[in-house]
Amino acid sequence: MNIQVIPTVSEARTEDLGHRIAIVVDVLRATSTMLAALAAGAEAVIPAETVQQARQLQQRGYLLGGERSCRKIPGFDLGNSPLEYTAEAVRGRTVVMTTANGTRAIQKAGKASRVLIGSLLNGRACAAKAASFGEDIAILCAGTQDVFALEDGLCAGMLADELIRLGGGRDSDIEMNDFGWSMLYAYREAKDRLTDALLSSANGRRLTKLGFRDDILYCARTNVLELAPDMSGGQLSLAAAQI
């Protein structure tokens, strides 16, 4: 198996994604929030790259969710906090979501043969589904405004660790780029204190200042969701989320 870990959206090239299973990671907070919505019973999540596109995709009964500069977009029903996506708020509803980085990464990953959504919350389930296709894998870290984000890199390292375990547990059995190896070793060093790592990251500090510390605590949990959603027909759905 060959694994390529891509640090940011701006560094993703067609040759890195083509004929691969792409896993898009935006731990704080887009992919974590999408998983929270599906786990709470949302019928589907439709990622949109821009606010205008999100409004155009909205249909009667759909919810609009997302953020710019970490804040809910004016006129939208929900922001980008996973804690907002409760069963009461989203059960049976379709959510059109746009975020500054995560949904842009999903659009960029569209060149891959299949696009999966990953986070710390579902790392094990996501790795298992990715491995089941028997293809090479690209892990695309969303980052923040084209700058690498520590929490995404640690999640990529977790996914790589799980993929190695599924393949027999020997590092030597896979091929991976140097950035991927760096993130694997970083995850192994930090895996017992991921909450502290996320809180001390640049995005963690920014979200804490804005009053979203509880979001970080939520997103720092590992393997609490047995959902492995992938894109189908431009959306993530409950049917697509099951492993």
Q: Is 62 contained in some domain?
A: yes
Task: Look at residue 238 and tell me if it is in a domain.
Answer: no
Q: Which domain holds residue 164?
A: 2-224
Does any domain span residue 231? no
pLDDT in tens, 93-120: 999 999 999 999 999 999 999 999 999 9
Average of pLDDT values for 21-32? Answer: 98
What CATH number did the domain enclosing 160 receive? 3.90.1560.10
Q: In whole numbers, what is the pLDDT of the chain averaged over residues?
A: 96
Is residue 232 situated within a structural domain?
no
In this structure, what token pair is assigned to residue 38?
A: 């599906």
pLDDT at 240 over 80: no
Contact status, residue 38 vs residue 239, Cβ threshold 8 Å: no
What percent of the chain is predicted at pLDDT more than 70? 98
pLDDT tens for each residue of 43-71: 999 999 999 999 999 999 999 999 999 99
Grade residue 242 by pLDDT with cuts at 50, 70 and 90. very low
**Rounded to an integer, what distance in angstroms lies between the CA atom of residue 119 and that of residue 96?**
19
Neighbours of 131 (CB within 10 A): 17
Q: What's the domain count of the chain?
A: 1
pLDDT at 239 over 90: no
